[in-house]
């Protein structure tokens, strides 16, 4: 009786969707359906990614051949690239906007926004986000902030150019650089809106995960993806408001004459009235977000990888509880390590000691995660789909990039490599490339779920193998030029004959960068072509256990026709044997989806 009643409500809910016929606008533009919003996030994120990567190619050209003229500068940079010579200010603008776009717009919104939206309701068995409306607002705020950020590129005096960390006074004083005028104002407005968007999104994710799990979906049965998105959202809620306050104070310093970050300044021939502020305060506020931000970017990628590696290894993820504990430990520690960006900022050296301690602690849960991934591969039956390859690639770059963190996190060693290319190499590998691999892995894996079609695997393989070689080709040599003492954010290194012997290495890096960027076009083609012409996807192409694959291929409002599936087990019962040990729990099928009740011939695990 009760089951019937339940079904009835569900049907009614489903019908409800059909009463109001979706118009084009409610379906594709102001949609409140999490699946559509996730696609919107993905496509906006990819679009921003194209801009961000294109910028990196422009400044890599400049770094490799500083004395050559490239008409491509004139095409893309206009007056800033007149006669094929790049203006030093626009070089700084390019690195600034590249950083901003990649960190916030691609890897925060594009990665976490896409997959949190897609997977949280589908994997926990919910009809939609807790608040579809807030979710829609969150996306449109993100869209607005993207538009403003792009608009800022066309400002007369040029976009923000003080580095993505926008340290004042450089970012506060238009006299210090042209980019700190209207360009910086737009940057700050864009980021303020971005933060609002991110907060609305994060609160929604948290509430949804806590309240809307289906029957049987205890926290310890959640797929690791959801754990990662959930904890990421919490870090975002804790740290993003601090960046907001920093941005607000910077706006006040810039426009209303306050002195939060400014003191004793003589610039352009006059002394400013500002007194008593401290740029170091800004650095604290910025990195209080800035460091957790690294994990906001990385944790979703690690969550996605956990899921994909387990599915494609046909094995449970090794040490599920340790993985959850690591995520929690990383999240907690990530909020108390920000000072390692500031060892030589002039803050008290004792603080430096404390931050060295907490920073190196974070290596422990990270190491545990890396070992657990490797052990998951051990004695698996690896299905090397493109998503799986990118996940393995992620583990590789996560290790390579993470290890150099031991050097940078050590205050004594940081003194000499701080702000050199060593840092650039480190964070690009550990958070940039790793998170991008997570994004690609997620797209290849959940593309059938998002668009109902399959991506071409061969193009995926080409994409992966060229990218994986190219990415190391770019960032591995950077460690050397960093240890040679080459500072980052230099428009050209020719002002120092001492660095002349690094020019060759810079050429190598740029060639790898061009090749790697070019091969992303293969991905782009595959992505777009597959949306329209890809092979129609079966319901569960990767033979996966999680709930999203129990929903029909065709998207419907409310995700499941009829009742929401109930959950009876964790999501990692891959290759689990029956009691007799002679076959899988379900004969001939090496996976048991979460909505399958415990079988008679099966031993119950603690999950």
Structure tokens that stand for 55 in this block: 């910028």
Query: Does 332 sit near other proteins (CB under 8 A)?
Result: no
Strand partners, 487: 420
Stretch that binds other proteins, among 22-30, 207-215, 245-253, 342-350 (CB under 8 A): 342-350
In angstroms, give the least distance from the CB of 566 to other proteins.
Answer: 22
CB neighbour list of residue 477: distance below 8 Å, 6 or more residues apart: 505, 508, 509
Query: Does 222 sit near other proteins (CB under 8 A)?
Result: no
- Our CA dihedral for 419, 420, 426, 429, rounded to 10 degrees, sits at 110
Query: Does 170 sit near other proteins (CB under 8 A)?
Result: yes
Structure tokens that stand for 234 in this block: 């919490």
Please name the residue that has the structure tokens 């079904």.
7
CA distance 384 to 144: 39
Query: Does 571 sit near other proteins (CB under 8 A)?
Result: no
In angstroms, give the least distance from the CB of 3 to other proteins.
Answer: 32
Considering only residues 89-128, where is the footprint of other proteins by CB under 8 A?
A: 89, 92
Query: Does 526 sit near other proteins (CB under 8 A)?
Result: no
CA distance 372 to 388: 16
Query: Does 262 sit near other proteins (CB under 8 A)?
Result: yes
What are the angstrom distances between the C-alpha of 342 and each of 261, 355, 407, 425, 487? 16, 9, 14, 18, 16
Query: Does 498 sit near other proteins (CB under 8 A)?
Result: yes
Query: Does 531 sit near other proteins (CB under 8 A)?
Result: no
Considering only residues 306-325, where is the footprint of other proteins by CB under 8 A?
A: 313-316, 318-322
Quickly list DSSP for 46-95.
HHHHHHHHHHHHHHHHHHH-TTS--HHHHHHHGGGGGGG---HHHHHHHH
Considering only residues 438-467, where is the footprint of other proteins by CB under 8 A?
A: 454-458, 461-462, 465-466
What are the angstrom distances between the C-alpha of 347 and each of 276, 355, 362? 16, 11, 22
Query: Does 485 sit near other proteins (CB under 8 A)?
Result: yes
Query: Does 410 sit near other proteins (CB under 8 A)?
Result: yes
Query: Does 355 sit near other proteins (CB under 8 A)?
Result: no
* 217 phi-psi bin (left φ>0, alpha ψ -120 to 50, beta other): beta
Of positions 201, 477, 565, 593, contacts other proteins by CB under 8 A: 477
Question: Packing angle between helix 34-64 and helix 132-151, nearest 10 degrees?
Answer: 20
408-424 b/e with 16+ CB inside 10 Å = b?
bbbbeebeebbebbbbb
150-189 b/e with 16+ CB inside 10 Å = b?
bebbebebbbbbbbbbbbbbbbbbbebbbbbbbbbbbbbb
Of positions 200, 265, 435, 441, contacts other proteins by CB under 8 A: 265
Query: Does 594 sit near other proteins (CB under 8 A)?
Result: no
Residue 11, CA atoms < 13 Å, CB-side half-sphere: 6
CA distance 339 to 350: 11
In angstroms, give the least distance from the CB of 121 to other proteins.
Answer: 25
Query: Does 370 sit near other proteins (CB under 8 A)?
Result: yes
Considering only residues 181-220, where is the footprint of other proteins by CB under 8 A?
A: none
Of positions 237, 251, 407, 553, contacts other proteins by CB under 8 A: 407
Considering only residues 10-29, where is the footprint of other proteins by CB under 8 A?
A: none
CA-wise closest residue to 470 among 539, 422, 522: 522
CB atoms within 10 A of CB 464: 25
In angstroms, give the least distance from the CB of 504 to other proteins.
Answer: 5
CB neighbour list of residue 568: distance below 8 Å, 6 or more residues apart: 216, 594, 595, 596, 597, 598
In this complex, which beta carbon is closest to other proteins, that of residue 439 or of residue 519?
A: 519
In this complex, which beta carbon is closest to other proteins, that of residue 213 or of residue 418?
A: 418
Query: Does 599 sit near other proteins (CB under 8 A)?
Result: no
Containing 266, the helix (H) or strand (E) segment is strand 266-267
Query: Does 159 sit near other proteins (CB under 8 A)?
Result: no
Query: Does 372 sit near other proteins (CB under 8 A)?
Result: yes
CB neighbour list of residue 182: distance below 8 Å, 6 or more residues apart: 152, 155, 156, 157
Of positions 46, 102, 173, 474, contacts other proteins by CB under 8 A: 173
Query: Does 163 sit near other proteins (CB under 8 A)?
Result: yes
Phi, psi of 110 (to 5 degrees): -65, -35
Of positions 57, 189, 294, 468, contacts other proteins by CB under 8 A: 468
In angstroms, give the least distance from the CB of 197 to other proteins.
Answer: 27
Query: Does 154 sit near other proteins (CB under 8 A)?
Result: no
Of positions 72, 328, 413, 529, contacts other proteins by CB under 8 A: 413
Of positions 162, 188, 324, 436, contacts other proteins by CB under 8 A: 162
Stretch that binds other proteins, among 133-141, 142-150, 170-178, 288-296 (CB under 8 A): 170-178
Of positions 490, 524, 529, 566, contacts other proteins by CB under 8 A: 490
In angstroms, give the least distance from the CB of 209 to other proteins.
Answer: 23
In this complex, which beta carbon is closest to other proteins, that of residue 15 or of residue 264?
A: 264
Query: Does 392 sit near other proteins (CB under 8 A)?
Result: yes
Query: Does 501 sit near other proteins (CB under 8 A)?
Result: yes
Of positions 361, 524, 553, 563, contacts other proteins by CB under 8 A: 361
Of positions 511, 529, 531, 556, contacts other proteins by CB under 8 A: 511
Of positions 252, 328, 469, 563, contacts other proteins by CB under 8 A: 469
Query: Binding residues for other proteins, how many (CB under 8 A)?
Result: 136
In angstroms, give the least distance from the CB of 300 to other proteins.
Answer: 21
Query: Does 527 sit near other proteins (CB under 8 A)?
Result: no
Quickly list DSSP for 97-131.
HHHHIIIIIIIIIIIIIHHHHHHHHHHHT-SS-S-
In this complex, which beta carbon is closest to other proteins, that of residue 63 or of residue 136?
A: 63
CA distance 334 to 359: 8
């Amino acid at each position: 009786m009760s089951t019937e009643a339940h079904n009835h409500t569900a049907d009614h809910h489903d019908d409800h969707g059909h009463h109001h016929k979706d118009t084009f606008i409610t379906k594709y533009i102001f949609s409140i359906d999490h699946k559509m919003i996730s696609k919107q996030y993905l496509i906006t994120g990819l679009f921003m990614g194209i801009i961000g990567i294109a910028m990196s190619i422009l400044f890599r050209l400049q770094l490799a051949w500083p004395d050559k003229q490239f008409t491509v500068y004139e095409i893309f940079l206009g007056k800033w690239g007149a006669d094929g010579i790049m203006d030093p200010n626009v070089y700084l603008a390019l690195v600034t906007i590249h950083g901003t776009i990649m960190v916030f717009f691609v890897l925060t919104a594009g990665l976490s926004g896409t997959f949190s939206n897609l997977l949280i309701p589908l994997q926990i068995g919910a009809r939609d986000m807790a608040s579809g409306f807030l979710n829609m607002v969150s996306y449109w705020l993100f869209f607005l902030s993207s538009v403003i950020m792009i608009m800022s590129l066309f400002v007369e005096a040029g976009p923000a150019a003080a580095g993505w960390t926008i340290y004042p006074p450089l970012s506060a004083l238009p006299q210090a650089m042209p980019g700190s005028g209207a360009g910086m104002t737009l940057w700050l407005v864009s980021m303020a809106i971005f933060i609002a968007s991110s907060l609305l999104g994060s609160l929604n994710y948290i509430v949804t995960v806590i309240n809307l799990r289906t029957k049987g979906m205890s926290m310890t049965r959640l797929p690791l993806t959801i754990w990662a998105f959930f904890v990421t959202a919490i870090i975002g809620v804790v740290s993003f408001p601090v960046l907001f306050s920093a941005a607000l104070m910077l706006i006040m310093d810039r426009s209303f004459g306050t002195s939060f970050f400014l003191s004793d300044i003589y610039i352009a021939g006059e002394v400013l009235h500002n007194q008593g502020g401290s740029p170091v305060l800004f650095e604290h506020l910025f990195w209080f977000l800035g460091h957790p931000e690294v994990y906001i970017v990385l944790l979703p990628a690690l969550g996605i990888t956990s899921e994909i590696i387990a599915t494609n290894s046909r094995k449970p993820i090794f040490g599920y509880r340790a993985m959850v504990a690591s995520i929690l430990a990383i999240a907690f520690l990530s909020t108390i390590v920000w000072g390692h960006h500031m060892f030589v900022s002039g803050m008290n050296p004792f603080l430096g000691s404390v931050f060295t301690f907490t920073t190196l602690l974070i290596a422990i849960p990270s190491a545990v995660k890396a070992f657990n991934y490797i052990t998951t591969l051990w004695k698996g039956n690896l299905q090397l789909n493109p998503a799986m390859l990118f996940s393995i690639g992620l583990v590789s770059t996560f290790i390579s990039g993470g290890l150099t963190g031991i050097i940078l996190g050590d205050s004594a060693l940081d003194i000499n490599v701080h702000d050199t290319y060593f840092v650039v190499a480190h964070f690009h590998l550990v958070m940039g490339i790793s998170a991008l691999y997570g994004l690609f892995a997620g797209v290849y894996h959940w593309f059938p779920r998002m668009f109902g079609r399959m991506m071409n695997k061969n193009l995926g393989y080409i994409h992966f193998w060229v990218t994986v070689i190219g990415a190391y080709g770019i960032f591995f040599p950077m460690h050397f030029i960093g240890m040679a003492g080459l500072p980052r954010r230099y428009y050209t290194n020719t002002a120092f004959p001492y660095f002349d012997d690094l020019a060759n290495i810079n050429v190598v890096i740029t060639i790898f960068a061009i090749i790697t960027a070019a091969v992303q076009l293969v991905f782009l083609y595959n992505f777009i072509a597959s949306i329209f012409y890809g092979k129609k996807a079966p319901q569960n192409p990767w033979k996966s256990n999680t709930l999203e694959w129990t929903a029909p291929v065709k998207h419907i409002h409310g995700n499941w026709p009829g009742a929401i599936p109930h959950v009876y087990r964790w999501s990692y019962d891959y290759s689990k044997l029956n009691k007799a040990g002679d076959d899988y729990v379900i004969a001939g099928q090496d996976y048991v989806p979460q909505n399958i009740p415990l079988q008679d011939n099966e031993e119950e695990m603690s999950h």
